[in-house]
Structure 1
Amino acid sequence: MKRSPGARLCATAAMGALSLSLLTACSDEGSKDTADSRASSPSSAASSSSAPAAKPLTTAELEKLLLAQGELKGYKVASGDDTLPASKSRVKTDKPACDPLAWATAGLAPGDTDANASNSVSEDKASAATAQPTDLADAFDIDMTYVGLSSYAGDGAEKAMKAVSDGVTACAGGYGLTGDGETTKVTRTAAEKGAAKGDETVAFASDVDMDGEGTATFHTAVVRKGNTVATFYTVNFAAMAKGGEMGGVPAAVLDAQVAKLK
Structure 2
Amino acid sequence: MKRSSGVRLCATTAVGALSLALVTGCGGDGSKDSAGTPAEGAGRPATKALSAAELRKRVITDGEVPGYKVGAVPAGRAQLIKADDAKCEPVARVMSGFAPVPGAARTDRMATQEPRKTGGARPTPQGDRGEGGFEASVNKAMTRDITTVDLSSYEGDGAAKALKAFADAVKGCAGGFVGKQAGTAMKFTRLTGGGAAGAGDESVAVTAVTDMDGGKTAPVYAVVVRHGNTLASYQTVNFGAMMSGKSYAVSPEVVEAQSAKLK
Relative to the length of structure 2, the TM-score reads 0.75
Q: Deviation string for 1:159-181 (max 9, x for gaps)?
A: 00000000011101100012233
Matches within 5 A, 1:34-53: 53=46
Aligned counterparts, 1:44-123, within 5 A: 53-82=46-75, 85-87=77-79, 89=80, 91-123=81-113
Q: Secondary structure at the match of 1:177?
A: strand
What are structure 1's unaligned runs of at least 5 residues? Answer: 25-51
Unmatched tracts of structure 2, length 5 or more = 11-15, 28-44, 129-133
State the structure with more CA Rg: 2
Structure with greater contact order relative to length (CA < 8 Å, sep ≥ 6) = 1
Read off the aligned partner of 1:241 and give its amino acid letter. Answer: M
- The worse-fitting range, judged by mean Cα deviation, of 230-239 and 120-129 is 120-129
Question: Aligned equivalents of 2:92 and 2:160: distance in 1?
Answer: 18
Q: Distance in 1 between matches of 2:213 and 2:17?
A: 12
1:18 paired residue number: 21
Aligned residues: 228
AA aligned opposite 2:98: L
* Alpha-carbon contact 1:236-1:246 (below 8 Å) kept: no
Q: 1:147-226 maps to which residues of 2 (within 5 A)?
A: 147-194=149-196, 196-211=198-213, 213-226=215-228
Deviations 1:79-134 (A, max 9, x none): 01426x252x1x22111111111111222121242411111111112757997465
Aligned mates of 1:97, 1:14 — CA distance in 2 = 24
Residues 207 and 218, structure 1, Cα contact 8 Å, conserved in 2:
yes
Q: Is the CA contact (8 Å cut-off) linking 1:225 and 1:261 kept in structure 2? A: yes
SS of match in other structure, 2:70: strand
Give the TM-score of the pair, scaled to structure 1. Answer: 0.76
* 1:14–1:184 contact (8 Å) kept in structure 2: no
**SS at 2:47 equivalent:** coil
* Distance (Å, rounded) in 1 between the aligned partners of 2:78 and 2:194: 28
For the 8 Å contact 1:141–1:237, the answer to whether it is kept is yes
| Percentage of matched positions with identical amino acids | 38
Matched residue SS, 1:241 = helix
Within 2, Cα distance between the matches of 1:154 and 1:249? Answer: 28
Contact 2:227 2:262 in 1 (8 A): yes
Deviations 1:133-183 (A, max 9, x none): 653343322211111110000110000000000001110110001223322
Matched, 1:125 2:120: no
Give the secondary structure class of the aligned counterpart of 1:196.
coil
User: Who is 2:248 aligned against?
Assistant: 247
Question: What is the root-mean-square deviation in Å for CA atoms of aligned residues?
Answer: 3.1
